[in-house]
Amino acid sequence: MTSRLDRLFVLLESGSTPYTRQAAATQLGELQRLHPHELHTLLRRTYNLLRSSLWDTRVAASQAVGAVVKYTPPWNPPEGNEGDGDGGGGPHLTLDMLDIACILDSSQELTASQGNEFDMEEDTTSATSGVINTKDSLQRARQQLNAKLGFPLVDPSVTDSLVTKEDLLTNRMTKDNEDVKPNVGDILSSGSFTCSSPGSASSIGMSSREANRARRKARLAFAKSKSNSVSSEPGGGGDNGPPDGKRVKLEDGGGGEESGDGGMGINEAVPDMDGTWGDATEWPLEGLCDRLCADLFSPVWEVRHGVATALREILKVHGHGAGKTAGQTKQQMTHSHLAWLEDVTVRLLCVLALDRFGDFVSDQVVAPVRETCAQALGVVMSHMSEEDRVIRVVDVLLTLTQQKHWETRHGGLLGLKYILAVKQDLVNSLLPRSLPLILSSLSDPVDDVANIAAATLIPVAPHLVTSPSLSHRVPALLDQLWTLLAEQDQLTSACNNFMSLLAAILCHPDSRASTVLSEPVMEVLPRLWPYLSHSTSSVRLATLQTMATLTRSHRTLDCSVPSLLATLRHVYQRSLVEHVREIQDMIEEVWESILTRIELNSLLMAVCPHIAQWLCLAMQPANVPFDNSQLISVEPKSSGDTPQEALAGLKFYLGGVETVPLVTREANSHRARVLASRLLGLVSTYVIQPMTGLNPGPGEDQQIPCPVQCYVNLLLVYVNSKSALQRAGHQ
């Protein structure tokens, strides 16, 4: 019979929805709050799920780790006197030992996997010779390979030309003599960063991880020997003697090391009901963190991702107590704490340098391992109190941004992004060091690197604008962004953060948009038109914020009638198909800002010929798509398609495009119609005004129709209509 705990872990592993898994993770946290002594049991079982091949399971497991450690008391060991405590838990990796160039040259790259899942299972006939030399063995190897690749029913005549006998040869001599670079974890555990002899690790001594693990094994062995000696005494554990208390069923450690707990510190101290750690002398979560740090260099990307998320969650809550030992003086505790953090930092930097795994989600490239390790690095840096060490970490990351592999540059910028975000108190010293390389990365030939470079500057945009030593770089940065936006296609990954960075700088209260633009406002606005229809809502919002800021910075806007008309059509069209309320509010602000700053005659010449068309678009039935010939599109940059051909494959409805869920479109259709009516109401105050500068000849006054009467006559056609949609849209 399964227990409630078993059912929670089943939900955590195979829940039908992410919400179900998250609820199970929350319940595990509540279980830890009610039963503190179950800490390491919960962490051990959750650790196994962190290595799952399923994304949702790993995310849920990390949420469970965060929920469990949330209800564990903080580690604040008592201080000792001089000479009472030791100086820490053994040697640690330091930034002085780290040579990124050697690590990149002498270590294996961390890819998706080692490829062992595609290795052939050799039979006895091939094991002796090392070569598949029979027809049956060759056919069996083909079938095995097809099954592993997901093609178990492929016609053999097809695979004969794709997979030949030479492809399936397995020469053991070649494998044994192959020059394979060592895993970076082996290099770090040796304590040696020299490129010449990474294999001479045994002569260096144990690393801090191995030393901590050895101490835990020794304590466990001592506890077992003490237990055995007690049980061997007369009456100590005989079958005829009375039991000393209730028997407790201990769960199997499950696939660990010879210590029985997998080196995770399962036998470490547990918190008591009073919210203290009892007689614990070392950080109780150190065993688990040691194992997580060791698994950061797993050749399987799922393992690296899972343990990095767990490490991030643990250090987010308990990073302030990491590495501390009871009995140390205050200075020793600080030294041990910083040394432990620096050790983890070195390991995370190595992952950022060597990880090569990437995947696609929709139109974005994601690097889950590098992203999560960069987040964990940001958490570690939030606990790093010494400015010098933070600066040295930033210098290492800047070195990564100059490497030839784009993944390494990408990892370095990700680390900078989170460090600059969390160390706001050090931005004045960190940003000047890193800004030149970040600006050069904006023009990186790889879109994903340029995308992260822009994202790195978004959190520190206010400092760029207000800093006396950096504000002079803002005009050049804005010119660079405008140029990049003109060159980029709206579907490239970098345009998202380019637009967000542009909006963050221009929308700052201290930013003087009118003085930093080298071109007239109405000449740069066309570069923003493509992003009004971007699939990401944050890009559309940033685009409208930028348009609002640019137009508000001028009392009057000088532009040609075609340019003004195109801008108004793009904004009005966005009001019809937008489904995000915040963006709808910004559309009205942009519309009003443009109308109030345009010369009346230019506005009338642009609007009057199209006001009737705009009225008809506002009366569109919600379940009928717009006629694409009535909509405006931007000329594609990278293809030969015409604007109408670009729109032909996508249907636009009132309240949202066809990719928006039907329920959302229907709920938003009325709000979109009201917004369009409000925009028409704002422009109506100008349409009814007579054009200035007209001097009719004598006797011609009666021949010039009154603008108000013309506009009223247009509206009366729809007000008197039998269609409820037409009447409602114009009353």
**Model pLDDT for residues 93-103, shown as the tens digit of each residue:** 889 888 888 88
* 168-177, 324-333, 436-445, 649-658: least confidently modelled range: 168-177
Tokens of residue 625, six digits: 């798509």
Predicted pLDDT at 379: 96
Residue 146 structural domain: 100-171+178-190
Tokens of residue 217, six digits: 């094994």
Nearest-angstrom CA–CA distance, 253 and 260: 6
H helix or E strand, kind and range, residue 361:
strand 359-361
Within 10 Å of residue 468's Cβ, how many Cβ atoms? Answer: 6
Nearest-angstrom CA–CA distance, 12 and 331: 42
Average pLDDT of span 115-135: 52
Q: What is the pLDDT of residues 434-453, one digit of tens each?
A: 999 999 999 999 989 999 99
Residues 329 and 82 sit within 8 Å (Cβ to Cβ): yes
Q: Which residue has the higher pLDDT, 386 or 159?
A: 386
In this model, does residue 285 exceed pLDDT 60? yes
CA neighbours closer than 13 Å in the CB half-sphere of residue 17: 3
Predicted pLDDT at 127: 47
Predicted pLDDT at 635: 65
pLDDT band for position 729 (50/70/90)? Answer: low
Nearest-angstrom CA–CA distance, 434 and 158: 54
pLDDT band for position 246 (50/70/90)? Answer: very low
Domain limit, last residue, from 136, 159, 190: 190
Asked if the structure places residue 567 within a domain, the reply is yes
Residues 676 and 572 sit within 8 Å (Cβ to Cβ): yes
Nearest-angstrom CA–CA distance, 348 and 630: 54
pLDDT band for position 689 (50/70/90)? Answer: confident
Strand partners, 361: 364
Predicted pLDDT at 449: 93
Backbone angles phi, psi at 359, to 5 degrees: -145, 170
Compute and round to an integer the Cα radius of gyration of the chain: 33
pTM attached to this predicted model: 0.79
Triad 384, 389, 394: Cα angle to 5°: 100
Predicted pLDDT at 205: 40
Asked if the structure places residue 314 within a domain, the reply is no
* Whole-Å CA distances, 600 to 33, 506, 551, 556, 684: 68, 27, 16, 11, 12
Domain limit, last residue, from 128, 162, 190: 190
Asked if the structure places residue 316 within a domain, the reply is no
Asked if the structure places residue 591 within a domain, the reply is yes
Asked if the structure places residue 268 within a domain, the reply is no
Strand pairing class (656-657; 359-361): unpaired
Predicted pLDDT at 3: 83
Q: Which residue has the higher pLDDT, 403 or 176?
A: 403
Average pLDDT of span 262-271: 62
Rounded to the nearest integer, the mean pLDDT of the chain is 79
- Structural domains in the chain (count): 2
Asked if the structure places residue 343 within a domain, the reply is no
In this model, does residue 597 exceed pLDDT 60? yes
Nearest-angstrom CA–CA distance, 503 and 482: 11
Smallest CA-to-CA distance from 343 within 486, 212, 460 is with 212
Measured between its terminal Cα atoms, the distance across the chain in Å is 68
Q: Which residue has the higher pLDDT, 486 or 423?
A: 423
Predicted pLDDT at 181: 72
Q: Which percentage of the chain shows pLDDT scores above 90?
A: 35
Domain limit, last residue, from 122, 156, 190: 190
Asked if the structure places residue 465 within a domain, the reply is no
Asked if the structure places residue 617 within a domain, the reply is yes
Strands (E) across 323-481 are located at 359-361, 364-366
pLDDT band for position 203 (50/70/90)? Answer: very low
Q: Which residue has the higher pLDDT, 504 or 723?
A: 504
